[in-house]
């Protein structure tokens, strides 16, 4: 029988239920979702042994689970599926029938375990995708789940929500929930996260009522439900302004505005005060999280990360290994090689806290620290050379690397939360700042600079990132200002030419608006699946 692969859109599995053997078929394009699939297949390799193929599919009114050549009717009485992780990189899956274990496998997943630690966007959806057997053990015997699958198999078997470069099978709670709320998709993935990136107004709901998409009663109930929910998504309102002002004051007090008075506490005193503040910050993070207040929870978690370099500075002083007379307040002002211990520790703590709490604002101190780290490493490798030229080059190239990292995070997490915002922000600042400070008397170099800024504007529009557009526009304005003041300062034709060019650009905008759908559809057909899904989510 032909089954869908559990995680890959471009793979299908030819599964033989008699022998338990499976053959992978690589597809040239995504599977046709108009055709109802029978089920899904996955495989795991025993720690000591061969690979075992698994499958779940519908047979008449039964849901059948296969492990190799053996099969079980999941609706049978006395059957139980268990999945556990006895060791960090090992998992155990068992099938119990009437109290007796009739199937068992222990398999390793080192790569998946490491990814779950390193990827701060990793959540239950990723876990369902990575651990087929864990997902089956959680849901397959749940009566409510089984009833849902039986009732809506034809509709849900082809719904495959994108998860970065992976696509999760039809049976995850996320997908079931998404199907229940179609076509409005209110709280699309509320089962796994508190925030929704879907924004609409009361007027939108009134329009939906007028188009008979919703009844008036449903609209009123939905409005009442949404009004009772806490404001968890970032907004430009008075409440959130107070959140961020308070958070930045507290974070700034422990970082940018730290004075010499703290030096009197000595290394041990600084360590204990940092630990105390960190404990308070973590406590507040958990309290706000329990109340569904993600913004203040994320700010308090960020406060804890920001305390890390201060604590490490105190430890180094207490141990007597601080190498010179510099003080903590210089950490955010000067480039020195011995900040490396503070920066690496901050990254480690930041990754752990971001992985645990998964609030986008937690990425901010990580992005800043990455910027600091590249500067300090470059100086250390260069033998202590603090030249301005070196700083500009390092800033430019490290900014490019951060932009690439942000883009990868964006692809991975675009259907969850905006974890890439702060990495994009500091990456663009570092890249554009380093590039703009480069000096050249060549007009060709200046024109190339102008072209790069135009590309930044285009990229910003394409992936809906305003930071690219803002800095690109500043760079373009600077180049045009150079032309006006230096190259064509005595030319009366230059302002006229510039005006005509502006009108031509407006005309191009009109043409683009008329043909946008055709052009974008054609262009996206040549892009990789993951990038296509990212762009579609941005321009939905």
Mean pLDDT over residues 432-452, rounded? 88
Tell me the pLDDT tens digit for each residue of 135-159: 888 877 777 777 776 666 655 444 3
> For the whole model, what pTM was predicted?
0.59
Decide if 305 contacts 348 (C-beta within 8 A): no
Continuous segment of H or E residues that includes residue 135: helix 132-139
Confidence of residue 345 (pLDDT cuts 50, 70, 90): very high
Confidence of residue 343 (pLDDT cuts 50, 70, 90): very high
Average pLDDT, the chain: 78
Continuous segment of H or E residues that includes residue 470: helix 466-482
112, HSE (Cβ side, Cα atoms, 13 Å): 18
Residue 142 pLDDT: 76
Where residue 166 falls (left for φ over 0; alpha for ψ -120 to 50; beta otherwise) is beta
Span of 155-164, 207-216, 359-368, 370-379 with lowest mean pLDDT: 155-164
Tell me the pLDDT tens digit for each residue of 458-511: 888 888 888 898 899 888 888 888 888 887 877 777 788 878 888 888 887 788
Give the C-alpha separation, 314 to 269, whole Å: 8
């Amino acid at each position: 029988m032909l089954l869908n692969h559990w995680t890959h859109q471009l793979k299908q599995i030819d599964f033989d239920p008699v022998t338990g053997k499976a053959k992978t078929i690589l597809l040239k394009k995504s599977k046709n979702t108009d055709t109802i699939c029978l089920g899904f297949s996955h495989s795991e390799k025993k720690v000591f042994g061969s690979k075992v193929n698994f499958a779940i599919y519908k047979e008449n009114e039964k849901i059948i689970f296969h492990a190799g050549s053996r099969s079980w009717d999941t609706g049978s009485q006395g059957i139980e599926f268990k999945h556990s992780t006895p060791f960090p990189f090992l998992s155990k899956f068992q099938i119990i029938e009437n109290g007796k274990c009739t199937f068992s496998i222990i398999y390793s997943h080192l790569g998946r375990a490491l990814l779950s630690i390193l990827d701060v966007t990793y959540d239950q959806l990723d876990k369902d995708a990575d651990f087929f057997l864990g997902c089956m053990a959680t849901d397959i015997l749940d009566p409510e789940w089984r009833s849902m699958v039986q009732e809506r198999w034809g509709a849900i078997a082809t719904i495959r929500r994108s998860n970065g470069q992976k696509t999760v099978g039809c049976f995850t709670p996320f997908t079931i929930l998404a199907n229940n709320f179609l076509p409005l998709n209110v709280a699309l993935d509320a089962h796994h996260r508190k925030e929704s990136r879907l924004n609409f107004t009361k007027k939108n709901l009134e329009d939906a009522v007028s188009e008979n998409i919703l009844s008036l009663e449903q609209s009123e109930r939905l409005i009442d439900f949404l009004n009772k929910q806490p404001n968890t998504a970032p907004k430009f309102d008075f409440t959130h302004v107070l959140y961020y002002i308070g958070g930045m004051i507290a974070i700034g007090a422990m970082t940018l505005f730290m004075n010499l008075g703290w030096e009197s506490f000595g290394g041990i005193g600084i360590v204990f005060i940092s630990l105390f503040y960190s404990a308070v910050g973590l406590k507040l993070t958990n309290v706000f999280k329990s109340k569904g207040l993600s913004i203040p929870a994320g700010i308090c978690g960020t406060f804890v990360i920001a305390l890390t370099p201060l604590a490490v500075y105190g430890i180094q002083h207490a141990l007597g290994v601080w190498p010179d007379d510099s003080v903590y307040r210089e950490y955010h002002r000067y480039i020195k090689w011995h900040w490396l211990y503070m920066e690496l520790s901050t990254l480690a703590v930041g990754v752990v806290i971001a992985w645990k709490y998964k609030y986008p604002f937690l990425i901010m101190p990580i992005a800043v620290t990455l910027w600091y780290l590249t500067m300090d490493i470059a100086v250390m490798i260069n033998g202590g050379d603090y030249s301005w030229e070196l700083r500009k080059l390092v800033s430019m190239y490290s900014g490019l690397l951060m932009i690439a990292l942000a883009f990868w995070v964006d692809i991975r997490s675009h259907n969850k939360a905006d974890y890439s915002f702060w990495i994009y922000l500091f990456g663009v600042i570092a890249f554009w700042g380093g590039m703009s400070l480069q000096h050249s008397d060549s007009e060709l170099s200046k024109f190339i600079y102008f072209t790069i800024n135009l590309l930044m504007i285009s990229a910003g529009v394409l992936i809906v990132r305003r930071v690219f557009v803002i800095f690109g526009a500043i760079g373009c304005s600077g180049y045009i200002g150079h032309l006006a003041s230096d190259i064509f300062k005595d030319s009366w034709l230059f302002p006229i030419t510039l005006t005509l060019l502006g009108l031509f650009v407006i005309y191009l905008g009109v043409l683009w608006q008329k043909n946008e759908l055709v052009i974008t559809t054609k262009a996206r057909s040549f892009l990789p699946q993951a990038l296509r899904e990212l762009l579609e989510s941005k321009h939905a």
